Amino acid sequence: MATIKIDNDNGEVMVGNTVLPGVFESIEVEDDTQADQVEIQGKEKRSNQRIAYNPTRIRLNLTLLNDESGPAVQKLEAIHKIYRPSRSVNTPQVYSIISPEAQAHGVDQVTFASLRSRSTNLDDTIFVNLEFEEYIAVTVPVRERPVSGSTTTYTVVKGDTLSGIAARFGTTVQALATANNIADVNLIYVGQKLVIPSGAASSSPSPAPAQTAKDSLSWTTEDIAMAQDDDMPS
């Protein structure tokens, strides 16, 4: 990690082993807070209540001059290349900062936030404002994924209901709906694959009872006689 060192005595700013061109004029450190805003009559917004602290911002002010060391615009280009070496670099670097003012605000790491330059037509002086923001590491919790092959699925067949499937697998309708993003628990379709929530009892669904047609061999003599009478012409 590169280090930014503020040398107030010599009027220098060092980034790693490189001294920034120009004259270091001043350092500004700002702590502020966020306000919850409310809209008044659809137009004006006024601060209601302070709800959080913003990251501390540090501004370094430098003056670049045309002198024997080179033109001011060339020095500005050199500063720009330090903080963004090329257009392909999209992530600002994290720096360790050594400065009594930064330490007084409890800041020891920063990221590059902005570079502003201002010049006039009256002289060859360029005023540079370098701004950094306090770096606060964010820990993102990692959600554990189920072990591959441990997921149980079931394919919906004709006559199935979500409550019936839940009963077969020892789970609840709500658990099934949540696991499969089902908004309407009364709406499932044939062929739909359902994920059975972990912890549900593993079982095979009972087959639907087969529908049997009336066997002609089971007809009685009376049934046959009635059928023959129906076929005779009147």
3-33+48-134, CATH topology level: Elongation Factor Tu (Ef-tu); domain 3 (2.40.30)
Question: pLDDT value at position 116?
Answer: 92
**Predicted pLDDT at 37:** 61
Smallest Cα–Cα separation from 158: which of 209, 197, 196, 195? 209
* Residues of the chain where predicted confidence (pLDDT) is lower than 70: 36-48, 122-123, 138-150, 199-234
Q: Is the pTM of this model over 0.85?
A: no
Domain locations in the chain? 3-33+48-134, 150-203
3 state SS for the chain: CCEEEEECCCCEEEECCEECCCEEEEEEEECCEEEEEEEECCCEEEEEEEEEECCCEEEEEEEECCECCECHHHHHHHHHHHHCCCCCCCCCCEEEEECHHHHHCCCCEEEEEEEEEEECCCCCCEEEEEEEEECCCCCCCCCCCCCCCCCEEEECCCCCCHHHHHHHCCCCHHHHHHHCCCCCCCCCCCCCEEEECCCCCCCCCCCCCCCCCCCHHHCCHHHHHHHHHHHCCC
Predicted local confidence at residue 218, as pLDDT:
42
Q: What pLDDT was estimated at residue 217?
A: 39
Question: CATH: 3.40.50.300, 3.30.420.40, 3.40.140.10, 3.10.350.10. Which one for 150-203?
Answer: 3.10.350.10
